[in-house]
Amino acid sequence: MSIKVVVVDDHKIMREGLRSLLERENDLLVVGEADTGRQAIQCVSDTAPDLVLMDLSMPEMNGIEATRRIVAEFPDVRVLALSMHSDRRFIEEALAAGAFGFLLKDCAFDELVVAIREVTAGRYYLSPRIAGVVVSDFLGRHGRPQPVPAARRLTPREREVLQLVAEGKNTKEIAFALGVSVKTVETQRTQIMKKLKMGSVAELTKYAIREGLTSLD
């Protein structure tokens, strides 16, 4: 039986390349593609895959937030994060969101195939370099209580609004994208600023980029 895969990446050439490589394997079948986190959720709903190969840095809704939604709504679907970033925050947030594995985009294709099969079987998979970052960080802070990242104190909708604000969308554009009123967006933005103790869009943008909620790509 084939493993059904959805490929999520905001670069078309990356999606097409992954599809071409994956479908050379007899037991892998790409059943859908998406270029934003929001499209990824819809694609999972439409295709019922076994695994989502998830890029983390995407416009509109990043891969970490999409992972949270997918894991919550479709608990039988596994998510394997694929990122160009080896920063500890990206790794921690992806795993905390429910990803079963984390690979860097410059990994060998053979390793990607192994990771897909392991994650689909319900086993966690971290590439050696990522595992080293996780273990080193754990040993470095062992025994010390860690503060909860401010972004995790935001609601899912507030994180979504924060990303859109950081990407330069105005209030009307955000309201249209999310299907809510302008007043609702203004209220949510005020709540975000209060929770993060920030007073300007510039501060929110810098914070969102620093925390990996969006990027300058």
CATH of the domain at 197: 1.10.10.10
Asked if residue 60 and residue 33 are part of one domain, the reply reads yes
Query: Is position 215 within any domain?
Result: no
Query: Is position 145 within any domain?
Result: no
Flag whether pLDDT at 129 surpasses 70.
Answer: yes
Q: Which residue among 95, 113, 140 closes a domain?
A: 140
CB 98 within 8 Å of CB 127: no
Instruction: Give CA angle at 191 (72, 38), nearest 5°.
Output: 35
Whole domain around residue 125: which residue ranges? 3-140
E strands in 57-123: 78-83, 101-104
**pLDDT band, very low/low/confident/very high, at 136 (cuts 50, 70, 90):** low
Predicted local distance difference test score (pLDDT) of residue 159: 86
Asked if residue 163 and residue 109 are part of one domain, the reply reads no
Predicted local distance difference test score (pLDDT) of residue 31: 97
Instruction: Indicate the number of domains in the chain.
Output: 2
Nearest to 54 by CA among 1, 110, 114, 115: 115
Asked if residue 156 and residue 134 are part of one domain, the reply reads no
What is each CA distance from 216 to 1, 55, 126, 131, 181, in whole angstroms?
Answer: 40, 15, 26, 27, 28
Asked if residue 83 and residue 54 are part of one domain, the reply reads yes
Asked if residue 115 and residue 172 are part of one domain, the reply reads no
Both tokens of 195, joined, read: 């929770």
Asked if residue 166 and residue 130 are part of one domain, the reply reads no
State the CB neighbour count (10 A cutoff) for residue 14.
16
pLDDT in tens, 139-191: 555 555 555 556 667 888 888 898 888 888 899 999 998 889 999 999 998 99
Flag whether pLDDT at 217 surpasses 60.
Answer: no
Asked if residue 190 and residue 96 are part of one domain, the reply reads no
Predicted local distance difference test score (pLDDT) of residue 130: 80
Flag whether pLDDT at 116 surpasses 90.
Answer: yes
Residues 6+ apart with CB under 8 A from 142: none
**pLDDT band, very low/low/confident/very high, at 121 (cuts 50, 70, 90):** very high
Can you give the length of the chain in residues? 217
In our burial notation (b when 16+ CB lie closer than 10 A, e otherwise), range 157-171 reads: bbbbbbbbbbbebeb
Does this model's pTM top 0.85? no
Asked if residue 130 and residue 26 are part of one domain, the reply reads yes
Q: What is the CA radius of gyration of the chain?
A: 18
Asked if residue 103 and residue 42 are part of one domain, the reply reads yes
